[in-house]
Structure 1
Amino acid sequence: MILNRYLFKEIALNFTATLLVLSLIIVGNTFVRLLASASSGDLPLDLLGNMLLFGSLKNLLRLIPVALLIGMMLAFSRLYRDSEMVALGASGVGPKEFYRAIFSFVLPLTVLMAVAVFIFSPQLEVQNQALRKEMYQRPEAAGIPPGQFVTAGNKTNNYTVLAEGIDDSRTVMERFFIRVQDGANEILVWAQSAILFVDSATGERFLQIRDGYRYENDAERGGMSIIHFKEHGVRIPLRSFTRSISIESVSTLELLAVASPANQAELQWRLSIVLSTLVLALLAFPLSYTAPRQGRFSKIAVAILLYGLYANVLAMLRGMMERGELPAWIGMWWVHILMVVLAFWLLRKYYGKPA
């Protein structure tokens, strides 16, 4: 029991420290990317914090397996460096005792991972998609910052837009002006307010302009027609955005209900995130074996490369399943089996045949 608590503590401390460092790196990179989008006008500043939160939580689940692998290897590498592994081996402590401590920590973590991946992760993605939809419908996302003229298009087909101000809700543009040049036809619109909205069927942006005037030149008769309107709609493709409903936001029960290739791929991907926690925990102990006078961090570099290969193969298989190029019965399960076989092979190589 004393040994079990000691090893549990070593694994937990190193895992927590590794996860914290990796999280700081991911959060920092996400913040820099979002800040660049905000500075270029693609992301409203008031949504920066929420986007950072959702993006960081989403990436955190994917960091846990690799953080566990590196943390466990750091813990066992220290035991090898301080000759504690040699002393424990001489005292009759074998891999069974180590795995008892390993899985007393990993099994509860895996249960939490399963709950997070299968239940909370889709809900988190729904919130993320809702936030992106709100961002997409903001005037700033269409390239219409308040108080600035914005021009898009070419010499014969172009738009010039000006919104003098945007209200506190960040949705209504006040004292709105737009000039549309379509070949020889020129249209000027001035209105008290305008709202940007997105067509749910086509994904195109439209301006709902209220209480204004439309000025249009008449090429055939000459002169200009003036129309006063209460409400008017104009399509405004100022920037090109690709919008699609992410399958990551679909609940696990809905994925089980429809056996499409994309749903099968997503289900196996979610299961792979959970299984990789157990697989990497099984692999970490024999992979951390360090011979005398061997560098402490040499095996960690090998582990990171091995994890990169493992994760990339799973991602490649996921893409093949989504495109229907790989049957679901082949899927991703065999990759986990290969990693388990590798773990047992390393155990036998370094620690001999179990008694």
Structure 2
Amino acid sequence: MLFDASLRKELGRSFVGTLIVLLTVVITLMLIRTLGQASKGSVSPSDIMLVMGYTVLGYLPIVLSLSMFVAIIGTLARMYQDSEMVIWFASGLGIARLLRPLARFAWPLLVAIAALSLLGWPWSQAQILELRYQFQQRSDIDRVAPGEFQVSSSGDSVFFVDRDSSTLESARQIFLATEEADKSAVTTARQARLDHRADGQTWAVLEQGQRVEQLRAPDPGVRVSEFERYEVQLQRDPVGSPGATVRSTPTLSLLEQSADNANAAELVWRLGLVFAAINYVVLALALTSANPRSSRMGHIVTALLVFVVYFNLLTLGQSWVGRGKVSAPALLALLHGGILLLALVWLMARHYQWSPRRLFKRGVAA
């Protein structure tokens, strides 16, 4: 019991340190990615921190799994190098006996990973989708950015106001290009103002300008007109909600609609994160071994390589299920069940010290 408590304490310290490092890296990468999306107009600059937070929350199961995997391998490698495992083996206990303290350490993390994968991931994706929808569907008034060409929410107009203009309430040097079914028009004006009317509609009143219209069939031609006052109705604030995507669909809904390949692929991804986290505990114990010539970083590199290979297999399996090449239950059984079986056989071979030479000698003796 004393050894188990000491092992779990060291695993906890190693896990926290690894988690802090990985979270720092992930947050930095997500911040750069979110800033890029904001510069392209995909998200609002004021929602950068929210989008980044939801994104990090969605990928937290992967970070927790990797942190747990690296912490277990790093701790066991140190015990081998400091000859603590020699004392463990000398007491008559095999390596498989370490599964109990590892399971006691890992089960809260496995519960958290399951909750984040099955519940947190779709919720965070739904929140990100809502923020992007609100920004993309904002009204034409909110789209005004002095000194920049902006496209209306309907996509049929492009407008520009002078950089010296603060808002559209009192703008100068306006450019407006519109596209309609029978004509296209370019309107310029020296100044503009907003007119909020009693019916709730908002009109942009352009003053002292010119309008050039390119007419199409059946009466093609060009019409140029000058005006002292010209009114353009602006689109009201949008209503409604964004449509649900596969990523933002709750897990229970995916189970009910698992006949669809896209839903089955997303379900395989979420369940795969949980099963992979369980397999990492067994894999870490089976992989770590005594090698005086290898440094601790060698074990960490091995852990990262195994994690990357497993993660790529999970991504590849999701793609196969989405294309209908394999069913979701078959993939879960073959991939995760196969890796768990391989890890258990490997662990038992080390626990009972199986080797081809010893098995051959026993066969000959029999």
Normalized against structure 1, the TM-score is what? 0.78
CA apart distance, 1:19: 1.3
Aligned to 2:357: none
Partner SS for 2:247:
helix
Partner SS for 2:203:
strand
1:212 aligns with 2:211: no
Aligned to 1:333: 333
Aligned to 1:86: 86
**Counterpart residue type for residue 216 of structure 1:** R
- 1:128–1:38: structure 2 CA closer, same or farther, 3 Å change rule? closer
**Counterpart residue type for residue 127 of structure 1:** Q
1:180 aligns with 2:177: yes
Structure with larger Rg:
2
Contact 1:77-1:288 within 8 A present in 2 as well? yes
C-alpha root-mean-square deviation of aligned residues, in Å?
Answer: 3.4
**Identity percentage over the alignment?**
23
- 1: CA distance, partners of 2:222 / 2:122: 59
Partner SS for 2:175:
strand
- 1:194–1:270: structure 2 CA closer, same or farther, 3 Å change rule? farther
Partner SS for 1:332:
helix
- 1:147–1:221: structure 2 CA closer, same or farther, 3 Å change rule? closer
Contact 2:113-2:274 within 8 A present in 1 as well? yes
- 1:94–1:315: structure 2 CA closer, same or farther, 3 Å change rule? same
Q: Deviations over 1:269-320 (max 9, x none)?
A: 1111111111000110121112233333323322221221111111111122
Normalized against structure 2, the TM-score is what? 0.76
Partner SS for 1:269:
helix
CA apart distance, 1:244: 7.4
Q: Deviations over 1:35-76 (max 9, x none)?
A: 345466665432122122112212222211111111100110
Aligned pair count reads 322
Aligned to 1:231: 233
**Counterpart residue type for residue 256 of structure 1:** L
Contact 1:37-1:43 within 8 A present in 2 as well? yes
CA apart distance, 1:322: 1.7
Q: Report matched runs for 1:80-119 at 5 Å.
A: 80-119=80-119
CA apart distance, 1:22: 0.6
- 1:185–1:343: structure 2 CA closer, same or farther, 3 Å change rule? closer
> What runs of 5+ residues in structure 2 fail to find an aligned partner?
215-220, 237-241, 355-366
**Counterpart residue type for residue 327 of structure 1:** S
Q: Report matched runs for 1:301-320 at 5 Å.
A: 301-320=301-320
- 1:188–1:290: structure 2 CA closer, same or farther, 3 Å change rule? same
CA apart distance, 1:139: 7.9
- 2: CA distance, partners of 1:258 / 1:41: 34
Contact 1:4-1:97 within 8 A present in 2 as well? no
Aligned to 2:126: 126
